[in-house]
Chain A
Amino acid sequence: MPKDHGIGASSKRREDVRFLTGQGRYTDDINLHGQAYVHFLRSDVAHGRLNKVDTSAAEGMPGVIRIFTGKDFEGVGGLPCGWQVTDRHGNPMQEPAHPVLAQGKVRHVGDPIAAVVAETAAEARNAAEAIVLDIEELPAVVDMKKALRPDAPKVHDDLSSNLCYDWGFVEENKAAVDEAFSKAAHVTTLELVNNRLSPNAMEPRVAVGDYNTGTDDSTLYTTSQNPHVIRLLMGAFVLGIPEHKLRVVAPDVGGGFGSKIFHYAEEAFCTFAAKAIRRPVKWTASRSEAFITDAHGRDHVTKIELALDAENNFTAIRTETYANMGAYLSTFAPSVPTWLHGTLMAGNYRTPLIYVNVKAVFTNTVPVDAYRGAGRPEATFQLERLVDKAARELGVDPVDLRRQNFITQFPYATPVAVEYDTGDYNATMDKLLEMIDRDGFEARAAKSKADGKLRGLGINCYIEACGIAPSALVGQLGARAGLYESATVRVNATGGIVVMTGSHSHGQGHETSFAQVVADMIGVPEAQVEIVHGDTANTPMGMGTYGSRSIAVGGSAMVRATEKIIKKAKKIAAHLMEASEGDIELKDGQFTVAGTDKSVAWGDVTLAAYVPHNYPLTELEPGLEETAFYDPNNFTYPAGAYACEVEVDPETGKVTICSFAAADDFGNVINPMIVSGQVHGGLAQGIGQALLENVSYDENGQLLSASYMDYAMPRADDVPFYQVDHSCVTPCTHNPLGVKGCGEAGAIGSPPAVVNAVIDALHRGGMKHVAHIDMPLTPARVWSAMHG
Chain B
Amino acid sequence: MYSFEFAKPKTIDEAVAALAGEEAQALGGGQTLLPTMKQRLAAPATLVSLNSIPEMIGVCVNDAGHVCIGGATPHAVVAREAAAHYPALAALAGHIGDPAVRNRGTIGGSLANNDPSACYPAAALGSGAVIKTNTRDIAADDYFLGMFETALNEGEIITEVRFPVPQKVNYQKFVQPASRFALVGVFVAKYADGVRVAVTGASSDGVFRWAEAEAALNADFSKAAIDALSPPEGTMISDLHGTDAYRAHLVKVMTGRAVAAA
Do A and B come together as binding partners? yes
Q: Which of B174, B177, B183, B250 has the most CB of A within 10 A?
A: B177
Chain A residues with CB under 8 A of B179: 708-710
A125 to B174, CA, bound (A): 39
Known: A652-B253, A784-B246. A704 touches B240 (CB 8 A): yes
Chain A residues with CB under 8 A of B84: none
User: What 1/0 flags go to B98-142 for Cβ under 8 Å of A?
Assistant: 000000000000000000000000000000000000000000000
Chain A residues with CB under 8 A of B183: 779
Chain B nearest CB, measured from A657 CB (Å)? 13
Give which listed residue, A652, A692, A713, contacts B174 with CB less than 8 A.
Answer: A652
The reply to whether the CB of A780 lies closer than 8 angstroms to some CB of chain B is yes
Chain A nearest CB, measured from B224 CB (Å)? 15
Interface hits, B231-250 → A, CB 8 Å: 240-243, 246, 249-250
Interface hits, A736-788 → B, CB 8 Å: 778-780, 783-784
The reply to whether the CB of A633 lies closer than 8 angstroms to some CB of chain B is no
Chain B residues with CB under 8 A of A711: 178
| Residue pair A778, B39 in contact (C-beta under 8 Å) | no
User: What 1/0 flags go to A687-700 for Cβ under 8 Å of B?
Assistant: 00001101010000
Known: A651-B253, A780-B243, A784-B246. A712 touches B177 (CB 8 A): yes
A288 to B249, CA, bound (A): 33
The reply to whether the CB of A705 lies closer than 8 angstroms to some CB of chain B is yes
Chain A residues with CB under 8 A of B40: 125, 129
| Residue pair B249, A783 in contact (C-beta under 8 Å) | yes
Q: Which of B178, B179, B241 has the most CB of A within 10 A?
A: B178
| Residue pair A708, B246 in contact (C-beta under 8 Å) | no
Chain A residues with CB under 8 A of B246: 780, 783-784
| Residue pair A696, B240 in contact (C-beta under 8 Å) | yes
Chain B residues with CB under 8 A of A691: 177
| Residue pair A692, B177 in contact (C-beta under 8 Å) | yes
User: What 1/0 flags go to B14-37 for Cβ under 8 Å of A?
Assistant: 000000000000000000000000
User: What 1/0 flags go to A59-83 for Cβ under 8 Å of B?
Assistant: 0000000000000000000000000
Interface hits, B189-224 → A, CB 8 Å: none
Known: A651-B253, A652-B253. A780 touches B241 (CB 8 A): yes
Chain B residues with CB under 8 A of A692: 177-178
| Residue pair A288, B39 in contact (C-beta under 8 Å) | yes
Interface secondary structure of B, over-half rule: loop
A21 to B16, CA, bound (A): 44
Number of interface residues, chain B, beta carbon within 8 A:
17
Chain A residues with CB under 8 A of B177: 691-692, 712, 778-779
A696 to B241, CA, bound (A): 11
Known: A288-B39, A710-B178, A711-B178. A705 touches B250 (CB 8 A): no
Number of interface residues, chain A, beta carbon within 8 A:
25
Q: Which residue of B lies closest to A776 (CB)?
A: B177
A783 to B253, CA, bound (A): 13
A126 to B1, CA, bound (A): 10
Chain A residues with CB under 8 A of B39: 288
Q: Which residue of B lies closest to A718 (CB)?
A: B177
A125 to B1, CA, bound (A): 10
Q: Which residue of B lies closest to A649 (CB)?
A: B253
| Residue pair A709, B253 in contact (C-beta under 8 Å) | no
Give which listed residue, A129, A654, A778, contacts B241 with CB less than 8 A.
Answer: A778
Chain B nearest CB, measured from A196 CB (Å)? 13
Q: Which residue of B lies closest to A704 (CB)?
A: B240
| Residue pair B243, A709 in contact (C-beta under 8 Å) | no
Chain A nearest CB, measured from B40 CB (Å)? 8
Q: Which residue of B lies closest to A778 (CB)?
A: B177
A390 to B147, CA, bound (A): 48
| Residue pair A712, B253 in contact (C-beta under 8 Å) | no
Chain B residues with CB under 8 A of A696: 240
User: What 1/0 flags go to A704-734 for Cβ under 8 Å of B?
Assistant: 1100111111000000000000000000000
Known: A696-B240, A780-B241, A784-B243. A709 touches B178 (CB 8 A): yes
Chain B residues with CB under 8 A of A694: 240
A710 to B177, CA, bound (A): 8
Chain B residues with CB under 8 A of A783: 246, 249
Chain B nearest CB, measured from A52 CB (Å)? 23
Chain B residues with CB under 8 A of A710: 178-179, 240-241
Chain A residues with CB under 8 A of B2: 126
User: What 1/0 flags go to B131-158 for Cβ under 8 Å of A?
Assistant: 0000000000000000000000000000
Chain B residues with CB under 8 A of A126: 2
Chain A nearest CB, measured from B35 CB (Å)? 9
A76 to B118, CA, bound (A): 51
Q: Which residue of A lies closest to B180 (CB)?
A: A715
Q: Which residue of A lies closest to B1 (CB)?
A: A122
30 A-B pairs, CB-CB below 8 angstroms? A125-B40, A126-B2, A129-B40, A288-B39, A651-B253, A652-B174, A652-B250, A652-B253, A654-B174, A692-B177, A692-B178, A694-B240, A704-B240, A705-B178, A708-B178, A709-B178, A709-B179, A710-B179, A710-B241, A711-B178, A712-B177, A712-B178, A779-B174, A779-B177, A779-B242, A780-B241, A780-B242, A783-B249, A784-B243, A784-B246
- Ranked 6 nearest A-B pairs via Cβ: A712-B178, A780-B242, A712-B177, A709-B179, A651-B253, A780-B246
Q: A710-B179, A778-B177, A779-B177 are in contact. List 20 more A-B contacts (CB 8 A).
A: A125-B40, A652-B174, A654-B174, A692-B177, A692-B178, A709-B178, A709-B179, A710-B240, A710-B241, A711-B178, A712-B177, A712-B178, A778-B241, A779-B174, A779-B183, A780-B241, A780-B246, A783-B246, A783-B249, A784-B243
